[in-house]
Structure 1
Amino acid sequence: MEKQVCSEMEIIPSTSYSYVKLLKINRELLVTHIRNTQCLVDNLLKNDYFSDEDAEIVGACPTQPDKVRKILDLVQSKGEEVSEFFLYVLQKLEDAYLDLRPWLLEIGFSSSKLIQSKVVVNTDPVSRYTQKLRHQLGRDSKFILCYAQKEELLLEDMYTDTIVELVNFSNESLGSLGSLACLLDHSTGVLNEQGETIFIFGDAGVGKSMLLQRLQSFWATGRLDAGLKFFFHFRCRMFSCFKESDVLSLQDLLFKHHCYPEQDPEEVFAFLLRCPHTALFTFDGLDELHSDFDLSHVPDTSSPWEPVHPLVLLANLLSGTLLKGAAKLLTARTGTEIPRQLLRKKVLLRGFSPSHLQAYTRKMFPDRAVQGHLLEQLEANPNLCSLCAVPLFCWIIFRCFQHFHSAFDSSPQLPDCTVTLTDVFLLVTEVHLNRTQPTSLVQRNTRSQTETFRASQGTLHSLGQVAHWGMEKNLFVFGQEAVQASDMQEGALQLGFLRAVPELGLGGDEQSYEFFHITLQAFFTAFFLVVDDKVGTQELLRFFQEWAPPGEAVAASCPPIFLPFQCLRDSGLAREDPFKNKDHFQFINLFLCGLLSKAKQKLLQHLVPAAALRRKRKALWAHLFASLRSYLKNLPRVQSGGFSQVQAMPTFIWMLRCIYETQSEKVGQLAARGICANYLKLTYCNAYSADCSALAFVLHHFRKRLALDLDNNNLNDYGVRELQPCFSCLTVIRLSVNQITDSGVKVLYEELTKYKILTYLGLYNNQITDVGARYVARILDDCKGLTHLKLGKNKITSEGGKCLALAVKNSKSISEIGMWGNSIGDEGAKAFAEALRNHTSLTNLSLAFNGISTEGGKSLAQALQQNVSLRIFWLTKNELDDEVAESLAEMLQVNQTLKHLWLIQNQITAKGIAQLADALRRNTGIVEICLNGNLIKPEEAKVFEDEKRIICF
């Protein structure tokens, strides 16, 4: 932009040290580019360079250019010192006089010590507005407001990082995000330079809103990019509150519905239009946006002044039609897709790892004794640990623990049995309801959960009615009308389930409310459907229609969530997987299964007639059985590698969750019986560790041997522990890209060596160190049928490499080893060389990107002279040189069984390649030697054109 400004100006440099003359020569340039005169007048007045009369003379000028000319006349008439101070103000207040920065650099202006001692005040409207924004957003982000209403928890004290990854268009990991500032970094993770939107996604409760609140706090306290002068935060659900007839200009959306400038809004807005790159927009919760307003018949708008429907503004901001160049962050739940042309980056939130959970525990419970007590209980209950991988559920569990700790005794106990998500939400409901009970040091509240719910039946019904009304309309913000229609008492609004909506001006002066999280609204919706006498079985199952397979009709009363840019998509894309973007409906189904389970009968029998409860339970079970049978029957199957493979979708994960909530062995057995395949593929389903509890609940009924592929999910060590019940039937286990550490590998070792039926173990791209490598080596020792082992992209060094190499040496079954991207170095390479020597079963080996240099490479080459089993050998991205190439050439004169040798991106020159080419004259077995990316020039490579098995480029 600065270059553009420079090109528009006719720069007239100073020919002397006279500042009066400098102003006179560059008069028209200054008149053209000075837009803020009040700031100049204020500073000239403050330093007694202007009198009140001077200020009045300037103020009487009719236009802005006239005011600038009058100021210049007065300044020049007062001499050199005043003229120098005038230039000093222009230089000091860069924000106010951005367009003049190139000119000031060009003339090399440098003020004297006298002038530098003068006070300069910033009364620039843009700077004042930035200060107001920082104050307002700093105040709004100071406390954690997402999950609580009555408590005030400092964000700075309670915020804990989660696993945040940059991903590509296919959601494959590009590596962890180093810091929040990296979100806006133009050098990392950019998928599309023309894209305007950074898309942050993850499951419900995983921390998307908290991340934006943290970012907001960083900006407000000046810890984010200093060039960002504006931060506009919107929640997408607020756009559902506008009527179809509502229209707004962009200026009104930003100022009237966010933060209004105290002075000169037109000037502030003009600056924003000139410098959109100084603005950051965040839009939270696209999946929570619902509107019947159809954008497909509304033209795009590029005019920032034209009043249009707010959804049109949102769509055009995201696409860059409005304020192109501004940074835009958009969040949504997993499954929400936006057009690739809008995307700049994709960022996936994966929740808490075990180390994050420990850090969060320390922040929530500063007392070490309480920390230890809680962590001991979590360690003893992997089911609870799995739920705690989701920050929202972790917060709920910890707040309940905290409540019982303060209200009952010093050593509260978390449930030690199987805990479902329904149990967790029933518990938090009980805790909130008990807040209304009087407590004292002498008398404790001893009401049971059943008594608590029975005493608060009216309150629960009112909350459920409001929640259900909103879900029916796909709305998450409720006005007074909806609250009053439910006969909700004032006390219910103070319990903490509902909170006042922070946005102002959406419904006039009327107060609006929302549940503290969308999952709580889903819970109360399910509760209402169960306990309300008027709800029949058809209405009970209303939200299960979201499970209708593609092509089947969806109930007319359930319009799909309308994405504001849906009109940008091809007509075929608009009819994609109907399960996308509907997690709130799926949570309702899940909570229905939990509330109508046999275990909850005692709780509910006092709230709903027994006959109605039986009728609803019978209807739910029949529908669940039919849906499950239909879904499993229609899953596509592929015959591959001796397996009948079925590719399940995220919908299957939701079904497993519902089955688990029932805690019914009968339902679990039915589901297991319906899996008519012996290879279950669940890759990229965004499964969490808690989902492993549901998966194991079904698979432990599977009586045949099974292959399970869970690559590219979010299981971590807790998920591995939850899979324990089904290890007895698993012959193939693929757990790559799942944040598994040595602790998870230890569990695998302890379980897999009990049954010794494993043939394939995939642990690529996890966080396994030498400790975990030793456990894997012991698995290889004990599981005599193990043929495939994938350990690439972990943290294994030479020590772990030696252990693995020894196990490989002793194995009579292993055929493929993947070690790409570790750090075994030359010592590890020597150990693998010993393993290769005279090995009888190993056919494929990757030691790529392992820091192997001359010594290690020569050892491997020499060992291959005594190997007749290896067919494919990857040594890409190491530090192999011509000496290694010479040793490999000698090997090729002896070894006639190796087919593919990859030496890509090493340090081999034309000399080494010549030796390899010469060796091929006496080798008829090798198919290719790949040497791309080595130290050879194109003209040098021409020498080897006739040898087709040498690939240089």
Structure 2
Amino acid sequence: MPNFSRRQGRRQSPIWTLLSSWRAVFGTLSGDYRRTIRSWDVRVSPLSFLKKERGRLVDELEDYINLIVQQALLKQFISKDDYEDIVYERGPRKQVRKLLDIIDCLGDENAALFCSLFIQVKSIKPKKQTAKESVKDYLLLIQKHKDVLRRRNDCLKSYNCRHGEKFYLSDYFVNLLLVQGHYSLEIKKNELLTFGQQRIHLQNKKEEKLDIKLHQLFDKFTERRTPKKILVSGVAGIGKTVFVQKILYDFSNSVAYGNFDFFINFTFRDLNCIKKAVTFREIILKKHGHLSQILDDIFRNSEKLLIILDGFDEFKFYSQLDFDQYIVDPDEETELAQLVGSLIKGELLPEATTVITSRPTVINHIPVDCIERFVVITGFSVTEIEDYFQKFYENGEVGSEIFDFVRQNHFLFTLCYIPAFCWIVCSVLKGNSTLHIDQPKTMTDIYCHYLVVLLKHHTRQEAAANETAINTVLALGHLAYQSLLQHETLFSEQDMETICHSPSDIVYSFLDKTCVQELEYTENILSFTHFTIQEFFAALYYAYEVSVAVDIMENEVQSQLDTSPGYLDLFQRFLSGLLSDRNQNILRKHLKLDGSKKPELYISWLIDSIIEHCENGCYVFNLLHCLFEQQRDCLAERITPAVLRLNLSDNVFSPMDFDVLTYFLNLVNMDIDELDLTATHVNAQHLKQLQPYLRRCRSLWVGENNLDKETVRVVCSLLGHTDCQIENLGLGWTQLEDEDFLELYNVLKCNQTLKQLWVEGNNISYNAIEKFSDIVLFNTTLQRVVLLGNRLGAENMKEFTAKPYKNVIVAHFDERFGKDFWQGWWEWILQRCKICSNEKIVSFLTKVWLGLCHGQNTSWMRTWYIEVDKLLQTRIKFCSATNIRKRMESLQKMFQTKH
């Protein structure tokens, strides 16, 4: 082989030839790019040059990458697989980087060829668009996006419909009632916004609870600016996803939301499929690939962008959100939890509007100071239920007839305010006429009937088919149970090995299939048609499986699963209903399913749990629902707690919830030592319904509810009744004004049972308090009226200390009332904290600290602060929610400064 010198070798290589040809186009390049080329020392290989100038090349070539890649494929410089790898990258800069990575593997000569191609393409001056043409193209892309959204949201998802049958959203959608403001959240919001101030007044002015329409969702009401972060909450089945579909549909048809150019929606079910670090650009283009050409413009004009995050309660990583760590660049790669947190916090695309939907059970993982508008979906009204029936049966006369029948059944009618249950009720009644099944009385009854109706349609009463159907149902139950244990709502086809031989028509009556396109393959992701269906099947499996490997009913297992409060509520209700005699008989008769071996064991557990919770004043709400599902009045004979204390606080009651409470109180004929209805949204109608039972309460707590004048009158009616036994009444943080307080004053002139009245944190003035103070002239039983945290200035406090009020009015921390009184008050606070959720502890102690204690530090208060410190330390240790843990840590530091 001839021994060429290095210089001779370079002169004879194609690289040198290419370099000499560049002079012809060199003059057309930008100044920066000329300097880049001049910096190429011919003694340096093309690959080394590309690596050295990589950053500048990315800047220079991002606007030309599409043309470069197309030319490279046309000239066969790269393969089709290389081409697909490049264009799959989200964003032109990442595409340039991917191309440079591929060139790096092809050698010096190919690198030189690519350099030549770069220069040729870069020398082509793109035709500049006029402003008019640019606007026209932008509007065309908006319309294309709307066309895509309309196609995707045109039809309602109606399960078990025949092939080719469609249910159009415009024909079947019934308005949902939206209420602006979730009361307990609004209180917490106010607290956190004033955190660190010396004093807090939560009720300086009344917050309006506005009923709003869908098209008003983004309107400015009383806020200083149009809300950018909106949280829409509602219980399971209330219609959150259909609500999202409706606003997408209305936007796509240009009938509303004209202040936005683009809507981008995600479901957390889809996001849960992402198992690696991603950019926001990537997850957008994975679902909305048609936006690739315009996405940079969308980001630049983000004030015209609406982002929807649907189903936060199904997010696999909701407890891992850390709002102190965030990204600001849509092209920055990060973990999904951090990306979602950055959107909610408003650090990523801060000018964009974001809507989050969620069940109430997990919204405590979203900092309330991030949210500018709270909206509660409260379901159908009476008129809308009737409207839904008529549309479902496609015959106004038939729909009205069945509606009238349902309305006579109080439970069924109450259930129908939830749209998902309303659909199931209609499905059951439509297929129930030939089955001769007793009319349902509970939620589980409805789901059992629904299961029977669907299976009867598939099996046609054949014995072999029936056995196959039962095996399929139990296999689905096993899948549902395993998914519930793992806090999963999605699974792949590989997870369905136990039902791979089951009839697909039965399987897909209860399952949804979603096709997910990955880079190298396509995967089918499955989920139950509704999360409540999954919980029902999980309960069915648990009820009939003799030996469960992991018992979800054990407290130790639940703590290991790290389930959020309320996560297993529906599962437990379904389990109780399935183990009831009535549903055991239905499943035995119509599905030939052998009886479960667990009813007696379960009932013993349920009775013991209710007694234990009632005696200790623990949260008992879901256990009462489980008792209601049994529909066995005789069980009340076994519920014999030594003292009856019911804590139902911090749950926004539905009509069904009040029916359950009434059912229990009607069965258990005992005096009620304590009934806690704090933060349950009680109103005048609810209290009237409960009035016969409330009169036999010794302690009644209805604080943190927005008590209007009518509700205050009902409370006064209770106190004025001859059978009233109420000794302690809590009305703290209920937005009481002077007029309401003086109405209580008038009725207490005649009452001879009340000993303590708690009206802390309200909006009562010194004048009303002064007038109230002569109550001692009329009432000999009233010992304390606690008015901490009302409208009392420093001068008012001095006047109080100067005037003898017979030690009845407690408007500030006064040594005259003695340590015993304050110790009792503090023990009540600690007791409430011990039974509260972590979120509620933060809310409650913030009010106590800022609104009542004002950081005071007497000798006995130091002992209290130490006890709170210990309580918070324990809760922090076992709190898995980053957001709530940090809030507790901040609160703990405040108490630590005082001991």
Contiguous gaps of at least 5 residues in structure 2: 1-62, 65-118, 191-201, 812-899
1:684 to 650, 654, 659: 650
1:152 to 137, 153, 167: 167
1:538 aligns with 2:548: yes
Using a 3 Å threshold, how does the CA distance of structure 1 residues 350 and 741 change in structure 2: closer, same or farther? farther
Partner of 1:862: none
In structure 1, C-alpha distance between the alignment counterparts of 2:378 and 2:715, rounded to whole Å: 25
In structure 2, C-alpha distance between the alignment counterparts of 1:804 and 1:581, rounded to whole Å: 36
Say whether the 8 Å CA contact 1:874–1:901 is kept in structure 2.
no
1:165 aligns with 2:181: yes
Task: Using the TM superposition, give the Cα deviation of residue 224 of structure 1 relative to its aligned residue in structure 2, in angstroms.
Answer: 5.0
CA distances 1:808-844 after superposition (whole Å, capped 9, x unpaired): 66655567889999999xxxx9xx99x9897446969
Partner of 1:130: 142
Task: Using the TM superposition, give the Cα deviation of residue 631 of structure 1 relative to its aligned residue in structure 2, in angstroms.
Answer: 8.9
Task: Using the TM superposition, give the Cα deviation of residue 399 of structure 1 relative to its aligned residue in structure 2, in angstroms.
Answer: 3.6
Say whether the 8 Å CA contact 1:168–1:346 is kept in structure 2.
no
Say whether the 8 Å CA contact 2:684–2:711 is kept in structure 1.
no
The residue identity in structure 2 corresponding to 1:206 is: I
Task: Using the TM superposition, give the Cα deviation of residue 369 of structure 1 relative to its aligned residue in structure 2, in angstroms.
Answer: 6.2
Q: 1:544 aligns to what SS in structure 2?
A: coil
Say whether the 8 Å CA contact 1:304–1:322 is kept in structure 2.
yes
CA distances 1:762-789 after superposition (whole Å, capped 9, x unpaired): 5985686769948964872443555677
In structure 2, C-alpha distance between the alignment counterparts of 1:415 and 1:190, rounded to whole Å: 55
The residue identity in structure 1 corresponding to 2:283 is: L
The residue identity in structure 2 corresponding to 1:780 is: G
In structure 1, C-alpha distance between the alignment counterparts of 2:285 and 2:344, rounded to whole Å: 18
Partner of 1:590: 573
The residue identity in structure 2 corresponding to 1:165 is: G
1:397 to 413, 416, 425: 425
Q: 2:287 aligns to what SS in structure 1?
A: coil
In structure 2, C-alpha distance between the alignment counterparts of 1:900 and 1:837, rounded to whole Å: 10
Say whether the 8 Å CA contact 2:155–2:167 is kept in structure 1.
yes
Partner of 1:477: 490
Say whether the 8 Å CA contact 1:653–1:687 is kept in structure 2.
no
Q: 2:181 aligns to what SS in structure 1?
A: strand
Say whether the 8 Å CA contact 1:465–1:525 is kept in structure 2.
yes
1:492 aligns with 2:516: no
Partner of 1:934: none
Q: 1:542 aligns to what SS in structure 2?
A: coil
Say whether the 8 Å CA contact 1:530–1:613 is kept in structure 2.
no
In structure 1, C-alpha distance between the alignment counterparts of 2:409 and 2:719, rounded to whole Å: 25
In structure 2, C-alpha distance between the alignment counterparts of 1:801 and 1:306, rounded to whole Å: 56
In structure 1, C-alpha distance between the alignment counterparts of 2:439 and 2:231, rounded to whole Å: 39
1:527 aligns with 2:528: no
Decide which moves more: 472-481 or 761-770: 761-770
Using a 3 Å threshold, how does the CA distance of structure 1 residues 452 and 687 change in structure 2: closer, same or farther? farther
Say whether the 8 Å CA contact 2:732–2:758 is kept in structure 1.
yes
Decide which moves more: 323-332 or 179-188: 179-188
1:323 aligns with 2:349: yes
CA distances 1:483-527 after superposition (whole Å, capped 9, x unpaired): 5743232322564x2333376659944544332201101212333
Q: 2:362 aligns to what SS in structure 1?
A: coil
In structure 2, C-alpha distance between the alignment counterparts of 1:308 and 1:782, rounded to whole Å: 66
Say whether the 8 Å CA contact 1:248–1:310 is kept in structure 2.
yes
1:143 aligns with 2:83: no
The correspondence of residues 67-78 of structure 1 with structure 2, limited to 5 A, is 67=126
CA distances 1:662-683 after superposition (whole Å, capped 9, x unpaired): 445676555x34x554433221
Partner of 2:271: 239
Q: 2:152 aligns to what SS in structure 1?
A: helix
Partner of 1:108: none
Say whether the 8 Å CA contact 1:203–1:334 is kept in structure 2.
yes
The residue identity in structure 1 corresponding to 2:387 is: R
Structure with more of its chain in helix, by fraction: 2
The correspondence of residues 725-874 of structure 1 with structure 2, limited to 5 A, is 737-738=681-682, 740-742=683-685, 744-749=686-691, 762=702, 765=705, 773=713, 777=717, 780-783=720-723, 785=725, 811=751, 839-840=778-779
Task: Using the TM superposition, give the Cα deviation of residue 350 of structure 1 relative to its aligned residue in structure 2, in angstroms.
Answer: 5.6
In structure 2, C-alpha distance between the alignment counterparts of 1:802 and 1:818, rounded to whole Å: 14
In structure 2, C-alpha distance between the alignment counterparts of 1:875 and 1:322, rounded to whole Å: 40
1:428 aligns with 2:394: no
Say whether the 8 Å CA contact 2:178–2:376 is kept in structure 1.
yes
Using a 3 Å threshold, how does the CA distance of structure 1 residues 900 and 464 change in structure 2: closer, same or farther? closer
In structure 1, C-alpha distance between the alignment counterparts of 2:384 and 2:315, rounded to whole Å: 33
Identity %: 17
The correspondence of residues 366-515 of structure 1 with structure 2, limited to 5 A, is 377-378=405-406, 380-404=408-432, 419-436=441-458, 456-468=469-481, 470-471=483-484, 473-483=486-496, 485-492=499-506, 495=509, 497-501=510-514, 508-515=521-528
Partner of 1:336: 362
Using a 3 Å threshold, how does the CA distance of structure 1 residues 766 and 289 change in structure 2: closer, same or farther? closer
Using a 3 Å threshold, how does the CA distance of structure 1 residues 793 and 321 change in structure 2: closer, same or farther? closer
Using a 3 Å threshold, how does the CA distance of structure 1 residues 549 and 433 change in structure 2: closer, same or farther? closer
CA distances 1:294-350 after superposition (whole Å, capped 9, x unpaired): 999x99655533555655544444444543432222233333256565852176666
Say whether the 8 Å CA contact 2:758–2:786 is kept in structure 1.
no
Say whether the 8 Å CA contact 2:415–2:421 is kept in structure 1.
yes
Using a 3 Å threshold, how does the CA distance of structure 1 residues 160 and 305 change in structure 2: closer, same or farther? closer
CA distances 1:432-452 after superposition (whole Å, capped 9, x unpaired): 3344589xxxxxxxx89x999
Using a 3 Å threshold, how does the CA distance of structure 1 residues 609 and 305 change in structure 2: closer, same or farther? same
Say whether the 8 Å CA contact 1:789–1:817 is kept in structure 2.
yes
Task: Using the TM superposition, give the Cα deviation of residue 364 of structure 1 relative to its aligned residue in structure 2, in angstroms.
Answer: 2.7
Using a 3 Å threshold, how does the CA distance of structure 1 residues 227 and 510 change in structure 2: closer, same or farther? same
Task: Using the TM superposition, give the Cα deviation of residue 710 of structure 1 relative to its aligned residue in structure 2, in angstroms.
Answer: 4.2
1:288 aligns with 2:303: no
Say whether the 8 Å CA contact 2:576–2:627 is kept in structure 1.
yes
Q: 2:248 aligns to what SS in structure 1?
A: helix
In structure 2, C-alpha distance between the alignment counterparts of 1:795 and 1:340, rounded to whole Å: 25
Q: 1:137 aligns to what SS in structure 2?
A: helix
The residue identity in structure 1 corresponding to 2:689 is: V
Say whether the 8 Å CA contact 1:770–1:797 is kept in structure 2.
no
Partner of 1:660: 628
Using a 3 Å threshold, how does the CA distance of structure 1 residues 226 and 368 change in structure 2: closer, same or farther? closer
Contiguous gaps of at least 5 residues in structure 1: 1-34, 37-59, 72-85, 97-121, 439-446, 555-559, 561-577, 636-643, 715-736, 845-868, 878-884, 903-953
In structure 1, C-alpha distance between the alignment counterparts of 2:574 and 2:724, rounded to whole Å: 44
The residue identity in structure 2 corresponding to 1:231 is: F
Say whether the 8 Å CA contact 1:284–1:332 is kept in structure 2.
yes
Using a 3 Å threshold, how does the CA distance of structure 1 residues 225 and 841 change in structure 2: closer, same or farther? farther
1:356 aligns with 2:375: no
Q: 2:155 aligns to what SS in structure 1?
A: coil
In structure 2, C-alpha distance between the alignment counterparts of 1:320 and 1:872, rounded to whole Å: 39
Task: Using the TM superposition, give the Cα deviation of residue 235 of structure 1 relative to its aligned residue in structure 2, in angstroms.
Answer: 0.9
Partner of 2:883: none
Using a 3 Å threshold, how does the CA distance of structure 1 residues 657 and 504 change in structure 2: closer, same or farther? farther
Partner of 1:100: none
Say whether the 8 Å CA contact 1:547–1:579 is kept in structure 2.
no
Partner of 2:209: 176
Q: 1:203 aligns to what SS in structure 2?
A: coil
Alignment coverage as a number of residue pairs? 665
TM-score (norm 2): 0.59
Using a 3 Å threshold, how does the CA distance of structure 1 residues 767 and 581 change in structure 2: closer, same or farther? closer
The residue identity in structure 1 corresponding to 2:389 is: M
Partner of 1:7: none
In structure 1, C-alpha distance between the alignment counterparts of 2:556 and 2:410, rounded to whole Å: 30
CA distances 1:72-121 after superposition (whole Å, capped 9, x unpaired): xxxxxxxxxxxxxx7xx55xx8xx5xxxxxxxxxxxxxxxxxxxxxxxxx
Partner of 1:19: none
In structure 2, C-alpha distance between the alignment counterparts of 1:308 and 1:339, rounded to whole Å: 20
CA distances 1:517-564 after superposition (whole Å, capped 9, x unpaired): 011012123334445xxx44233x6222466575xxx3xxxxx4xxxx
Task: Using the TM superposition, give the Cα deviation of residue 285 of structure 1 relative to its aligned residue in structure 2, in angstroms.
Answer: 1.9
1:255 to 285, 289, 293: 285
